[in-house]
Amino acid sequence: MGARAGQDAAGRPGRPARGGELTASSGRTGTALEVEGLCFAVGGARILDQVELSVPAGEFLGVIGPNGAGKTTLFNCVSGLVSPTGGSIRVDGHDLTHAPVHQRARRGVGRTFQTSSVFPALSALENVRLAVQAHSGGSLRLWGSTRGSVRRAAECLDQVRLGRRAEHPAGSLSHGDKRKLELAIVLATEPRLLLLDEPMAGLGVEDVPELVAVIRDLHRGHGITVLMVEHHIEVVLGLADRVAVLHHGRMVGVDTPSAVMEDPLVQSAYLGEAL
Ligand SMILES: Nc1ncnc2c1ncn2[C@@H]1O[C@H](COP(=O)(O)OP(=O)(O)OP(=O)(O)O)[C@@H](O)[C@H]1O
């Protein structure tokens, strides 16, 4: 895969591509996420090192890389769980580099985690309703009332194909349904930039296609920009418009799924170690 003229490793037009790095263009207008020179260091260790990434609005970007490459740390920086030690993060043009989590949520940044995080004793509906209410805060928005928040929570459950389980305690749901519930919970926050951290983790192979279909529906039906870290490479290839490759804390390239898979650097850096 050759570097395209006039683009850098993050796929931004108008900047020279760096030698040996993968490049891509989405052809869309409007940038949902712009990461420049992002660094996260602990002690002497550079967990993220000058990461560059530009994600057009509405894109589905897969993020891959070997264990310990820095994928979750990148998500932690974008979602505000940790503060970068260098560089900048802009969401829809707003500088959120050091903004608190709640401010990012107001700007439409939503996130799921590798491990399940639902209230097991509450019903699926109640779990989502709490998220709806927390998101609406004290405002007088439509779903600020109990009835409105229940209606909105039911919509979110329908959108992830979990409407039939609305009254079931979250703790009694299958692992796949818990993953869907987490998606419904994050949908309740009306994300415009959604970070999915290993959504398929722990899922049985028989449950993967259904969750892939739910995620595809959310992306296509809601115009949400999605970043997804996922070790199931076939899931990434099936969903992503482009794939970003992290290796030892550095962004080694961003390109179409097929170009990434053909790249010798990716094959040795990621597939060789991960499979
Ligand atoms: N706050 C921290 N303090 C010390 N080390 C950290 C911290 N955060 C991350 N690391 C280390 O940075 C490296 C990258 O971690 P990260 O979880 O981001 O990788 P990853 O690509 O998501 O890996 P995996 O695929 O295994 O989830 C790891 O070696 C991790 O132990």
This prediction's pTM: 0.85
- Whole-angstrom CA distances from 112 to 33, 46, 54, 79, 255 are 17, 25, 21, 10, 24
> Does the beta carbon of 274 lie inside 6 Å of ligand 1?
no
Cβ 73 under 6 angstroms from ligand 1: yes
pLDDT tens for each residue of 226-274: 999 998 988 999 999 999 999 899 998 899 999 998 888 777 765 555 4
Give the confidence band of 6 by pLDDT, cuts at 50, 70, 90. Answer: very low
- Cα(17) to centroid(ligand 1), Å: 28
Name the residue with the closest Cα to ligand 1, atom 2.
Answer: 42
Domains of the chain and CATH, by start: 30-108+193-275 (3.40.50.300), 118-190 (no CATH)
What pLDDT is stored for residue 141 in this prediction?
Answer: 54
| DSSP symbols for the chain | -PPPTTB-TT--BTSPPPTT-B-------SEEEEEEEEEEEETTEEEEEEEEEEEETT-EEEEE-STTSSHHHHHHHHHTSS--SEEEEEETTEE-TT--HHHHHHTTEEEE-SS----TTSBHHHHHHHHHHHHHTT---GGGSHHHHHHHHHHHHHHTT-GGGTTSBGGGS-HHHHHHHHHHHHHTT--SEEEEE-TTTT--GGGHHHHHHHHHHHHHHHT-EEEEE-S-HHHHHHH-SEEEEEETTEEEEEE-HHHHHH-HHHIIIIIHHH-
Per-residue pLDDT at 3 exceeds 90: no
- Provide the pLDDT for residue 21: 33
Measured from the Cα of 74, ligand 1's closest atom is 18
**First-to-final CA distance of the chain:** 22
Q: With bands split at pLDDT 50, 70 and 90, how would you rate the model's confidence at 13? A: very low
Distance from the CA of 54 to the center of ligand 1, in angstroms? 22
Q: Identify the pLDDT of residue 269.
A: 60
- The closest-lying atom of ligand 1 relative to the alpha carbon of residue 73 is 18
Instruction: Tell me the two tokens of residue 41.
Output: 């260091």
Percent of the chain with pLDDT over 90: 64
Residue 137 CA to ligand 1 centre (angstroms)? 33
pLDDT digits (tens, 9 = 90+) for 78-133: 999 999 999 999 999 999 999 998 899 889 999 987 776 789 999 999 999 999 98
Instruction: Give just the sign of the alpha carbon dihedral 95, 97, 31, 184.
Output: negative
Q: What is the pLDDT of residues 138-184, one digit of tens each?
A: 454 545 567 888 999 999 999 999 999 999 999 999 999 999 999 99
pLDDT tens profile 40-93? 999 989 999 999 999 999 999 999 998 899 999 999 999 999 999 999 999 999
